[in-house]
């Protein structure tokens, strides 16, 4: 289902485009499919949202550029951890949320590719990743706790760990995963969290995604924001 959605996203790709390349298993399917088109002669350039995506794109022969060289991208194709009926997303399960958000918000439009398990009525089933500075992480976490209390949310916060050590993002930061449950006001939560010194970015993507391609056992369903 992930692969089917990824292949369907190729229909938005046109020659000459600069394309944001997402991170994760679904985005990997897209990078592979795009690489096959490049081998057939398609002229595009990619901007990777992580070291892993960069390496995969290089392996599949996709010419790469940077956001500094091409600050206005035509399209970004990326996966998600959750999406709701308002095209709001939770991303960052793979730890690339900061670069993903910078790249997607620099694109004329963002196409999200996902299998149907990612569709939710209300965001919050998936723990919300928050990217934070390594300096003063405990002080930042304490302020985040206050923000959750203010919104009457009972959040459990855990510093992401990999291989017995705190996970460090490509941007050099930590991630705090917040198990919240249903988030009644994602916009308010996002605004409160991003106002905290030390919070770099949240995994809430609001007003960025325009099209969702959802793979189902019966085929790919397309959702388009008005």
**94 belongs to the binding site for ligand 5RP (CB under 6 A):** yes
Beta bridge partners of 165: 162
**76 belongs to the binding site for ligand 5RP (CB under 6 A):** no
Number of CB atoms found within 10 A of residue 200's CB: 19
**Alpha carbons 202 and 187: distance in angstroms, whole number:** 11
**Alpha carbons 198 and 89: distance in angstroms, whole number:** 22
Nearest Cα neighbor of 215 from 65, 69, 83 is 83
Known active-site residue 58: no
Determine which one of 8, 82, 100, 201 is catalytic: 100
Q: By C-beta, is 45 or 91 nearer to ligand 5RP?
A: 91
Q: By C-beta, is 78 or 190 nearer to ligand 5RP?
A: 78
Report, in Å, the least distance between residue 73 CB and ligand 5RP: 17
Retrieve residue 46's tokens.
């990619």
One residue of 5, 8, 21, 24 binding ligand 5RP per CB under 6 A:
24
One residue of 20, 35, 46, 93 binding ligand 5RP per CB under 6 A:
93
Inter-CA distances, 2 with 38, 75, 115, 152, 213, Å = 21, 19, 5, 35, 9
One residue of 18, 53, 76, 80 binding ligand 5RP per CB under 6 A:
80
One residue of 60, 88, 91, 173 binding ligand 5RP per CB under 6 A:
91
Inter-CA distances, 221 with 8, 75, 88, 104, 114, Å = 10, 19, 17, 21, 10
82's torsion region: left (phi>0), alpha (psi -120 to 50) or beta?
A: beta
**177 belongs to the binding site for ligand 5RP (CB under 6 A):** no
**131 belongs to the binding site for ligand 5RP (CB under 6 A):** no
One residue of 20, 79, 127, 215 binding ligand 5RP per CB under 6 A:
79
**Residues annotated as catalytic (active site), given as ranges:** 100
Q: Which residues bind to ligand 5RP, rule: CB under 6 A?
A: 22-27, 78-81, 91-97, 100
């Amino acid at each position: 289902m992930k692969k089917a959605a990824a292949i369907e996203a190729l229909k938005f790709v046109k020659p000459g485009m600069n394309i944001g390349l997402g991170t994760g298993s679904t985005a990997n399917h897209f990078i592979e499919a795009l690489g096959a088109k490049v081998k057939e002669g398609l002229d595009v350039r990619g901007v990777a949202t992580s070291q892993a995506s960069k390496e995969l794109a290089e392996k599949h022969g996709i010419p790469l550029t940077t956001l500094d060289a091409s600050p206005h991208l035509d399209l970004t194709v990326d996966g998600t951890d959750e999406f709701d009926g308002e095209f709001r997303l939770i991303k960052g399960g793979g730890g690339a949320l900061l670069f993903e958000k910078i790249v997607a918000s620099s694109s004329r439009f963002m196409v999200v590719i996902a299998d149907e398990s990612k569709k939710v009525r209300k965001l919050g089933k998936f723990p919300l990743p928050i990217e934070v500075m390594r300096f003063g992480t405990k002080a930042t976490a304490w302020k985040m706790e206050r923000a959750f209390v203010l919104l009457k949310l009972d959040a459990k916060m855990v510093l992401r760990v990999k291989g017995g050590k705190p996970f460090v993002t490509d941007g050099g930061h930590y991630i705090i995963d917040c198990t919240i449950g249903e988030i009644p006001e994602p916009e308010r939560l996002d605004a409160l969290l991003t106002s905290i010194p030390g919070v770099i970015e949240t995994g809430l993507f609001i007003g960025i995604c325009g099209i969702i391609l959802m793979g189902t056992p019966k085929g790919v369903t397309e959702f388009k924001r008005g």
